[in-house]
């Protein structure tokens, strides 16, 4: 279909400007790809790039993707989830393409996907082609999505949100069986995709928004049976995603997260003063304000363009003449208000109640609910823009009172700058305000956007100019943050780091401080006794403790002043021991044994005999370790790999007992003689999750077939009743 045939000729120029502006924003994000570099801002270099290299190497070499020996002396990395290891897109990208290309395409796909989904949703809700494209630009490149560019999996899940709502809208409004069946499949698969991407908090945002939208549609169309199918599809998605959900629950339960105090769930709450960002984006020195949390721009950046408060003002003055789109505008405005209150966290009233519930008590950063505020605000801006374009087509003029209402955001920006940045009113020293010139940038942005918006009804050039200005506004706020750390080649990230050595412990390192962020040393070929993950394992000994470093076989410490210092006397990668001691308190008893000659166990394993035999590592791959032993008697084989119940051991195919050495490391009781011992990692949580997912796939096929042959009773609703739901 020719998009230009569906709009008035003047709007075609506007549509071209939207396409050009959106392309420019997209290309600004694609520039590293075109130059062979990657963004390295924040968690990209600390977490995502190193672990995606680890993931890619496992795929290329046919290793297990469930376990990595590269961080934390071994970790159930699949259960951490944030790499999205089973997501089809990731499987394709990281199997087929170089690492830098795959990472860039993974990131860029989210922005393109968000744009397309928002465009589809808004056209279904009646915003019109040009306005829908404008709203799609505002959402795809909203403040949250741009500022969270280092959280690639978060943005990826958020990009599913408009698609989910659009598929839900189809389910409630179509009269065709095939379309209804496709909608049920779409809802289930979109939720499943979110689960596989591995960021449960963002899936919750989608589930909350999607469920409320479905209830609203059910009320408006009397399509209660369709609501049942939506809920059924959502439950099927939980089953389909169980292959990721169950392992993540396993890792979470064994992590330190359950030990955190209640306030953890309310950390990174949006302080109410951040509302000033909506009309004065540069009022604060750091552009954001917080009291008790780290001043992280990406967590507290609430601004998403001057267009948002202007659109709210326009919709308010036009509130009695919004026509068929009025219900959607009211719903979006109401949910935006709820999302804002939820983002306030400890300063609001909703999130503290949620934080008392299981699962929610381990999800931090209520400020992230701001993405739902920006999502709704982008839709409101699209509806306002559509109404403005209609005014231009009809040649209508603004009354003086209308002009005054539209000038309110600019007036607030001026007043805020005078009162705070010019120090007319004294403020607390903790409120770090920007200089007057910096604050005036916000005044200029708000004032210029207001003037352009006022010109739209009477000037043909104003709408395209307004679109371009909005894109510049979004880019100045969000994209420049991604470039705060210049993009680099992946090799450049560790070019100053010396490579591992060949001696004992030469590949194993401990990082004393985040001067080498997170997991960055993986890019140089090291295996870390430390590491950076969301779900740190609960261990008997802290990762930085002397005993943990010794038992992990760490050969090097990277100090805070960038020096690589050899660690004294690391234990071998594998060794046989003939002396053990049962301990009920490892932290108390560890100093009573020689770490090189004896081990603490949490239960009696029977008599051992010596002297200690010899061990040769035959294979040392992720999730698979093979060792040849020659033991004079029944002994303990100790490996400097972290213990997890998912490890099993065999000797020539016969199962042998695995144990936790000093509570944290992997071991097995081996028989006397010469044997080949194989350790394999296959946790029960993955096996159970996989079985549930297979059942979920069967349930989805059955549900789609049932909908296709037995459409919901909702389709018998009269067209008059459902017409308001369809544009």
Q: Residue 144 in contact with residue 277, Cβ under 8 Å?
A: no
Distance CA 80, CA 107 (A): 19
Peptide bond into 713 cis (omega under 30): no
Distance CA 100, CA 687 (A): 32
Please report the pLDDT score of residue 711 as a whole number.
56
Among 357, 359, 355, 332, CA closest to 252: 359
**Residue 538 pLDDT > 70:** yes
**Residue 138 pLDDT > 50:** yes
Give me the percent of the chain exceeding a pLDDT of 90. 76
Model pLDDT for residues 17-67, shown as the tens digit of each residue = 999 999 999 999 999 999 999 999 889 999 999 999 999 999 999 999 999
Other C-beta atoms within 10 Å of 602: how many?
16
pTM for this entry: 0.93
Please report the pLDDT score of residue 396 as a whole number.
81
Radius of gyration of the chain (CA): 29
**Residue 517 pLDDT > 80:** no
Among 135, 141, 124, 113, CA closest to 380: 135
Task: Report the mean per-residue pLDDT for the chain.
Answer: 91
Among 433, 441, 456, 398, CA closest to 306: 441
Distance CA 463, CA 392 (A): 9
Please report the pLDDT score of residue 360 as a whole number.
83
**Residue 716 pLDDT > 50:** no
Please report the pLDDT score of residue 496 as a whole number.
86
Distance CA 310, CA 134 (A): 14
**Residue 149 pLDDT > 90:** yes
Laid out side by side, the sheet with 556-558 consists of 527-528, 508-511, 556-558, 564-566
Model pLDDT for residues 406-417, shown as the tens digit of each residue = 999 999 999 999
Model pLDDT for residues 369-393, shown as the tens digit of each residue = 999 999 999 999 999 999 999 888 8
**Residue 108 pLDDT > 60:** yes
Distance CA 576, CA 214 (A): 61
| Structure-block tokens of residue 647 | 């490890």
Instruction: Please return the burial class of 354, using the count of CB atoms within 10 Å of its CB with bins 0-12, 13-18 and 19+.
Output: middle
Please report the pLDDT score of residue 695 as a whole number.
98
Please report the pLDDT score of residue 392 as a whole number.
83
**Residue 285 pLDDT > 60:** yes
How far is residue 198 CA from its own chain's centroid? 7
**Residue 6 pLDDT > 80:** no
Q: For residue 614, give every residue at least 6 positions away whose Cβ sits within 8 Å of its Cβ, in sequence order, or none.
A: 576, 629, 630
DSSP 420-487: IIT-SS---TTS-BPPHHHHHHHHHHHHHHHHHHHHTTT-TTHHHHHHHHHHHHHIIIIIHHHTSS--
Distances in whole angstroms, Cα of residue 227 to Cα of each of 230, 379, 421, 463: 5, 23, 51, 39
Among 453, 394, 444, CA closest to 414: 444
Residue that wins the pLDDT comparison between 481 and 395: 481
Among 164, 468, 480, 466, CA closest to 303: 480
**Residue 717 pLDDT > 50:** no
- Bridge partner list, 658: 668
In the numeric block, the tokens 């051991």 are attached to: 649
| Structure-block tokens of residue 409 | 């955001």
**Residue 485 pLDDT > 80:** yes
Sorting pLDDT into bands at 50, 70 and 90, what band is 261? confident
DSSP 165-227: HHHHHHHHH---HHHHHHHHHHHHHHHHHHHHHT-HHHHHHHHHHHHHHHHHHHHHHT-HHHH
Model pLDDT for residues 464-473, shown as the tens digit of each residue = 999 999 999 9
Model pLDDT for residues 411-453, shown as the tens digit of each residue = 999 999 999 999 888 888 889 999 999 999 999 999 999 999 9
Phi, psi of 358 (to 5 degrees): -55, 150
Length of the chain (residues): 727
Please report the pLDDT score of residue 395 as a whole number.
77
Sorting pLDDT into bands at 50, 70 and 90, what band is 514? low
Distance CA 336, CA 212 (A): 12
């Amino acid at each position: 279909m020719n998009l230009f045939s569906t709009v008035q000729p003047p709007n075609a120029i506007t549509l071209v400007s939207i396409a050009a502006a959106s392309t420019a924003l997209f290309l600004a994000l694609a520039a590293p790809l075109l130059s062979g570099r990657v963004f390295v801002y924040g968690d990209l270099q600390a977490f995502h790039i190193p672990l995606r290299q680890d993931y890619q190497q496992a795929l290329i070499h046919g290793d297990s993707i469930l376990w990595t020996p590269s961080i934390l002396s071994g970790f159930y990395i699949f259960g951490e989830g944030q790499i999205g290891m089973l997501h089809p897109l990731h499987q394709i990208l990281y199997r087929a393409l170089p690492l830098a290309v795959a990472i860039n395409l993974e990131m860029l796909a989210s922005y393109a996907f968000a744009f397309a989904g928002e465009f589809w949703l808004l056209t279904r809700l009646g915003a019109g082609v040009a306005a829908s494209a404008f709203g799609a630009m505002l959402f795809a490149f909203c403040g949250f999505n741009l500022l969270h560019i280092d959280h690639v999996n978060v943005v990826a899940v958020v990009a599913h949100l408009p698609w989910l709502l659009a598929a839900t809208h189809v389910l409630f409004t179509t009269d065709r069986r095939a379309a209804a069946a496709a909608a049920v499949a779409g809802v289930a698969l979109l939720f499943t995709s979110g689960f596989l991407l591995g960021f449960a908090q963002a899936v919750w945002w989608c589930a909350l928004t999607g469920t409320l939208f479905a209830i609203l549609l059910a009320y408006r169309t009397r399509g209660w049976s369709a609501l049942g199918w939506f809920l059924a599809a959502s439950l099927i998605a939980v089953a389909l995603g169980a292959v990721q959900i169950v392992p993540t629950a396993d890792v979470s339960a064994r992590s330190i997260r359950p030990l955190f105090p209640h306030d953890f769930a309310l950390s990174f709450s949006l302080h109410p003063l951040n509302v000033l960002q909506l009309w004065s984006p540069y009022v604060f020195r750091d552009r954001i304000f917080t009291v008790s949390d780290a001043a992280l721009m990406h967590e507290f950046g609430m601004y998403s363009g001057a267009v948002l408060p202007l659109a709210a003002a326009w919709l308010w003055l036009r509130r009695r003449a919004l026509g068929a789109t009025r219900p959607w505008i009211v719903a979006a405005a109401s949910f935006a208000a709820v999302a804002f209150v939820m983002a306030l966290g400890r300063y609001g009233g909703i999130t503290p109640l949620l934080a008392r519930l299981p699962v929610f008590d381990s999800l931090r950063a209520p400020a992230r609910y701001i993405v739902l505020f920006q999502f709704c605000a982008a839709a409101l801006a699209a509806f306002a823009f559509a109404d403005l374009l209609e005014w231009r087509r009809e040649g209508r003029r603004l009354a003086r009172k209308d002009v005054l209402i539209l000038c309110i955001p600019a007036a607030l920006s001026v007043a805020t700058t005078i009162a705070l940045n010019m120090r007319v009113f004294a403020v607390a020293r903790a409120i770090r305000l920007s200089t007057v010139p910096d604050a005036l940038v916000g005044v200029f942005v708000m004032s210029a956007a207001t003037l352009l918006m006022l010109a739209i009804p009477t000037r043909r050039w104003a709408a395209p100019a307004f679109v371009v200005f909005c894109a510049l506004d979004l880019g100045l706020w969000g994209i420049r943050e991604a470039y705060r750390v210049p993009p680099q080649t992946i090799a450049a990230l560790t070019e100053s780091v010396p490579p591992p050595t060949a001696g004992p412990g030469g590949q194993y390192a401990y990082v004393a401080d985040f001067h080498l962020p997170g997991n960055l040393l993986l890019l140089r070929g090291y295996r870390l006794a430390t590491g950076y993950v969301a779900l740190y394992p609960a261990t008997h000994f802290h990762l930085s403790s002397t005993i943990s470093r010794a038992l992990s076989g760490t050969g090097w410490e990277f100090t805070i002043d960038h020096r690589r210092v050899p660690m004294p006397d690391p234990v071998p990668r594998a060794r046989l021991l003939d002396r053990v001691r049962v301990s009920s308190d490892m932290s108390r008893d560890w100093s009573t044994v020689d770490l090189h000659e004896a081990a603490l166990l949490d239960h009696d394993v029977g008599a051992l005999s010596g002297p200690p035999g010899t061990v040769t590592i035959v294979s040392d791959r992720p999730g698979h370790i093979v060792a040849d032993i020659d033991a004079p008697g029944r002994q303990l084989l100790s490996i400097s790999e972290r213990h997890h119940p998912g490890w099993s051991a065999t000797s020539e195919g016969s199962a042998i007992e695995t144990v936790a050495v000093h509570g944290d490391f992997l071991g097995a009781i081996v028989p006397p003689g010469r044997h080949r011992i194989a350790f394999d990692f296959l946790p029960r949580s993955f096996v159970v999750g996989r079985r549930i997912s297979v059942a979920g796939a069967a349930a989805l096929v059955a549900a789609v077939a049932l909908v296709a042959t037995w459409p919901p009773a909702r389709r018998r609703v009269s067209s008059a009743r459902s017409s308001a739901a369809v544009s």
